[in-house]
Amino acid sequence: MADDLRLVDVQTEHLDDVLRVRSRSFGLLEAGRREEWKADAQAWIAGRRIVGVMDGDEVVASARYWPFEQWWSGRKVPMAGVAGVVVAPEYRGRGVGSMVMRGILARAVEHGYPLSALYPATTVIYRHLGYEFGGGRYRYTFPAADLRSLGGKEVSVRRAGPADAGRFLELAGQLHSSGRSNGPIVWPEAKVAEWLGEDNSFCYLAEDGFVVYGWQSGKLRVEELIAGSEATARALWAVVGSGSSISTDVDAYLSPDDPAHLLVPTEADKNALIERWMLRVLDAPAAISARGFAPGASLEVDLDLDDSELGANTGRWHLSVSDGSGSLTPSTSSGDALRLGSRGLTALYAGTPLPAVRKAGLAWGGAAADDGAIDTAFSGATSYMLDYF
């Protein structure tokens, strides 16, 4: 790597460089989306959430993160959603991508984020830095006629828009906290309002539910459907299904555990699309105390953590779980304990059963007899996200 490469906070005057590298990485942004990108970039700059690698006076790589929260067992944990990781083609393959990722990780740690997540275009670079698969984004396809026939005609539904962003977030929060969801992300309210105001966002609101859908490649596609009751679920799905004369099928981003799978008469197309996202525990004690745990689970166990990237996580810890809450405190005990690197800890955090984590070589030592109790504490609904970022 050249010696004069240096990490910087990206500023407004660097944005043309970042866009040029971005175009060579992901393709050109359409004219309208360019303006939106530049407007978003002002918020990334103001929040010091975008970093770059400079060679001389030119930015040759960049990465940024969104200030999300993520639901883990019914509680919201601050999460840095890393995106826009790009390296100029002529600088690839010599550690620049890793350098810019280390920069954005350091920034997320400095800003107090216990977790980070991203959608990987390639996993190798992120695994080297301690990320591991945390869950999936699932897209199912239902026959529109099946949705149309779900009923719910007694439920009143009205057209909604950007002014309903607060209500949308409130309803989503109720659903994810009572359903002890794992994985869904919470966008800042201003971005939710922007999304609800898009021409291709058709939004409908019921007393205890919300649907946002639109057209994608000549087909209707549900981006998000929240329903607090069976009647509302039927009514909102039927609104989407009312388009069956034009859209034979409806694609829908959904949790694999969503009640729609139990309500719709026929099984969703077996070829569900799954895009996997990766997670990283940045601050182990903060990540453990912020999330929920399975109600009724009780656990007292020591862990040996070894995090070669974020050394503050390394050491012997005591994990205690009771009444749906957990804590991780330094331990002075000696003897054998369950040993995990960052990828193993992250996989466990995301609900991967310990036998699988052990067989992948990401956990070892400790008493295998404790594995069941540890798994019970971290277990719950399948982790998923609805949004790509």
Ligand X SMILES: CC(C)(COP(=O)(O)OP(=O)(O)OC[C@H]1O[C@@H](n2cnc3c(N)ncnc32)[C@H](O)[C@@H]1OP(=O)(O)O)[C@@H](O)C(=O)NCCC(=O)NCCS
Q: Which residues bind ligand X (CB under 6 A)?
A: 25, 85-87, 92-98, 120-122, 124-125, 128
Please say which residue, 190 or 273, places its beta carbon nearer to ligand X: 273
Least separation in angstroms between residue 282's CB and ligand X is 18
C-alpha to C-alpha distance for 259 and 231, rounded to whole angstroms: 12
Please say which residue, 185 or 260, places its beta carbon nearer to ligand X: 185
Assigned token pair, 121: 């275009």
Please say which residue, 131 or 293, places its beta carbon nearer to ligand X: 131
CA nearest 307: which of 365, 364, 346, 353? 346
Q: Which residue is nearest to ligand X (CB)?
A: 97
Please say which residue, 105 or 150, places its beta carbon nearer to ligand X: 105
Cα 30 versus chain centre, distance: 26
Please say which residue, 29 or 373, places its beta carbon nearer to ligand X: 29
Least separation in angstroms between residue 125's CB and ligand X is 4
Cβ-Cβ contacts under 8 Å for 210 (sequence gap 6 or more):
160, 164, 167, 168, 171, 172, 203, 204, 224, 225, 226, 236
Least separation in angstroms between residue 23's CB and ligand X is 11
Least separation in angstroms between residue 123's CB and ligand X is 8
Please say which residue, 119 or 215, places its beta carbon nearer to ligand X: 119
Q: Dihedral sign, CA of 23, 28, 30, 31?
A: positive
Please say which residue, 25 or 201, places its beta carbon nearer to ligand X: 25
Least separation in angstroms between residue 24's CB and ligand X is 8
Least separation in angstroms between residue 128's CB and ligand X is 6
Least separation in angstroms between residue 94's CB and ligand X is 6
Least separation in angstroms between residue 101's CB and ligand X is 8
Least separation in angstroms between residue 10's CB and ligand X is 15
Please say which residue, 6 or 94, places its beta carbon nearer to ligand X: 94
Cα 193 versus chain centre, distance: 19
Least separation in angstroms between residue 108's CB and ligand X is 16
Please say which residue, 29 or 125, places its beta carbon nearer to ligand X: 125
Please say which residue, 27 or 218, places its beta carbon nearer to ligand X: 27
Cα 302 versus chain centre, distance: 28
C-alpha to C-alpha distance for 327 and 285, rounded to whole angstroms: 7
